Structure 1
Amino acid sequence: MTVEAPHDVIPFRQAVRAWFGISLQTFGGPAGQIAVMQRTLVEERRWIGQQRFNHALNYCMLLPGPEAQQLAVYVGWLLNGTRGGLVAGTLFVLPGMLALLALSAVYVLWQDTSVVVALFAGIGPAVLAVVAQAVIRVARRSLTHPLFVAFLGAYRDPGTLNPWAGALLGALLTTWVTFVPCFLFIFLGAPYVEKLRHNAAVSAALTGITAAVVGVIAGLALYFAEHTLFGRTFVFDQGPFHLRLPDPATISPVASAVTVAALVMTFVLKWPMLRILGICALLGLATVLLSRP
């Protein structure tokens, strides 16, 4: 069976530009990444319908590996065939890989992460807003980092290689074994999954997966909130309940203020994600630098 679409649903160059724009907004883990594709491809550009987007997402949730990248490959294949899937999947990974390589190199060279920590102090609340938005978007529409570790590990123990060569090789190898199999899963399985799209029984079963997706994203949002806004947690153990809860006494006023600003920019002002991330990163940098003696 061929995996090629009969023709480009949209012009290929236009699709490449769109996937590049999406790749620059892949923050917040799978939840935020799926939300970006939902907003860009379904709501703004209307290149793919909501039902078909959900069908692809449900299939990708069944596969091992990074489901957001698999979804990008699937939608890219639907829009422009194999070359569309290759471009979408590659662009989806490339910016994040380069960013992590750069951050890893900064850490290895200077061993001083104060600036990076300051930037992420602002980006964390912005990501929390992104994930919260993802919960709302996916729920409303649907119910009808290992690279850094590999780089540092290979740098510390490169064997007979130069430490930088070993670090780069370790990071690239991790990226390869994590993301390359996704292309095979989609190109081999998507044609059969598309044939089942109008099968009522299969569609009903896959729809149940969407509910699980919403639950996973909601759990991720709570995790982000707990570790972004609070400095410490405690275990609540009472009868059948065994919960890890944030300690209210350790709430961070700065993180809370930046989070409120990020939520306003996301839900009220509806600013683009890159603008929100940039402003929040600057806010985090400013607050950390101003707090220094």
Structure 2
Amino acid sequence: MSDSFRASSWQADDAITAAPKPEFAEFFRVFAKIGFLSFGGPAGQIALMHKALVEESAWVDEKRFLHALSYCMLLPGPEAQQLATYIGWMMYGVRGGIVAGLLFVLPGLAVIIALSTAYALYQDAQWLGGLFFGLKAAVLAIVVQAMVRLAGKTLKTRFQVILAVCAFLALFVFALPFPLVVLGAGLLGYWKSRAGGAPASMPPSMPQQAAGWHASIGRGLVSLLFWVAVWQLPLLVLWFLSGAEGLADMFAFFSKMALVTFGGAYAVLAYVAQVAVENYGWLKPGEMVDGLALAETTPGPLVLVLSFVGYLVGFRGVPGLDPVLGGIIGALLTAWATFVPSFIWIFAGAPFIERLKDNARISAALSAITSAVVGVIGNLALWFGLHVIFAQVTRYPLFPQGWQSGAGLWWPDFASVNLGALGLFALSAFLLMRLKIGMVKVLLLCAGLGMIWRYSGI
């Protein structure tokens, strides 16, 4: 690395983008719209941000958008919220990152708290079971549609297609850890770039708005320590409150989860469900699936399902508090533990990542990671689909158990097929992909049809 490159890497990016910088009110309005409409999981949310910020407003160019996305895919936690925070930070610094990140989460958090209240008070009601039944089938169609769209935008070369297929097989068949799959894809992309003789750097891309931060180790460390202190402040308060031991344990548990939740809500679902049911007794068996259905019906990250768990902990286990108030506190604490780390990763790390945007080999590695994510989403869609349409799904090992291998295949009992779920999925897919009906309308329709199906007693 030359001295001139080192020097330029630590200077402030004071260039101004070719696209006009929006007024902050317009910036706020667009991200509020994204927050209220961000249904369908990370693939759909990323597609929505791409359409609003790259295609319609041209506030961010394609290269910078994909560069930010690839970095966010490496991080634990909700990658779509992190992407919104990153883009907000690029445009308006820390203020923009906070606003964009919060607007992406708060609408869904408000809805999940309201739905969790209804669930906790009326979870034995037949109408609520029917509501979940219809929504699960519609959400499956949304996930499939989002995966197809992302694949169409991402997989442009044979190498990218191979990476996506290999990532799918690594997760679905061999049950490899998500971080290992992502890092492996990045290393392959870097190796291919070097083997192909690509230059170490590229011509500078279109300049963007300065984020207002220099990439310096000292400033990055200060930012890291400040946000970590903000993140863990509620735990310090809970330690000094009598009767809040259960909430303190919950906050500490979800703080740990925030550091290891690679792969999104589906990836962490099984582990959290096991710990919440067997170790702590926070949930009853099957309630996590109901929580996931609630999170699927709300805008924002799917990992909001963890706030459903927090609500039930507060609803059932805070002595001296009204159950609903305890539930709201539990949900807010879980959201704090889950989402504040996203701001830490962006504000402390993004200034350094921005300096790598014109490094051809690093960009190749990040592009490979984006391709692998298509396979990751394919794995999640298939797993979710099998468990929605079939009542009995079993994982069969591929090798003798003495091999100590986790390789296997999820295989349904075809006799356990739920014809109602299958029919609603087919209807949702037809309405979304063929007739181009809006996502919210399809969700509402299937929720109503699910209630009718359950009331009919079929």
TM-score by length of 1: 0.88
Of residues 147, 151, 157, the one that matches 2:317 is: 157
Question: Equivalents in 1 of 2:399, 2:52: separation in Å?
Answer: 46
> Gaps (5+ residues) in structure 2?
1-10, 157-304, 401-406
Of residues 319, 342, 347, the one that matches 1:182 is: 342
Q: Cα distance, 1:69 vs. partner?
A: 0.8
Of residues 16, 29, 32, the one that matches 1:17 is: 29
SS in 1 for 2:394: strand
Find out whether 1:227 has 2:239 as its counterpart.
Answer: no
Residue 286 of structure 1 corresponds to 452
Tell me: CA distance 1:201–1:235, structure 2 relative to 1, closer, same or farther (3 Å): closer
- 1:1-293 superposed matches below 5 A: 9-144=21-156, 145-239=305-399, 242-291=408-457
Q: Which has the larger radius of gyration?
A: 2
SS in 2 for 1:24: helix
Q: Which amino acid aligns with 2:141?
A: A
Contact 2:126-2:455 within 8 A present in 1 as well: no
Tell me: CA distance 1:197–1:255, structure 2 relative to 1, closer, same or farther (3 Å): same
Q: Cα distance, 1:284 vs. partner?
A: 1.7
Question: Equivalents in 1 of 2:354, 2:48: separation in Å?
Answer: 23
Tell me: CA distance 1:92–1:286, structure 2 relative to 1, closer, same or farther (3 Å): same
Question: Equivalents in 2 of 1:44, 1:121: separation in Å?
Answer: 36
Contact 1:34-1:134 within 8 A present in 2 as well: no
Cα deviation 1:224-283 (Å, max 9, x = unaligned) = 211111111123345476212112112222111211111112211222222222222222
> Gaps (5+ residues) in structure 1?
none
Contact 2:43-2:150 within 8 A present in 1 as well: no
SS in 1 for 2:436: coil
Q: Identity of aligned pairs, percent?
A: 46
Cα deviation 1:27-86 (Å, max 9, x = unaligned) = 333333223323443445544333322211110111222111101111222344433322
Question: Equivalents in 1 of 2:455, 2:13: separation in Å?
Answer: 53
Question: Equivalents in 1 of 2:87, 2:429: separation in Å?
Answer: 29
Which is further off, 110-119 or 133-142?
A: 110-119
Contact 2:77-2:338 within 8 A present in 1 as well: yes
Q: Cα distance, 1:5 vs. partner?
A: 9.1
TM-score by length of 2: 0.58
Give the CA RMSD over aligned residues. 2.6
Higher relative contact order structure (alpha carbons within 8 Å, sequence separation ≥ 6): 2
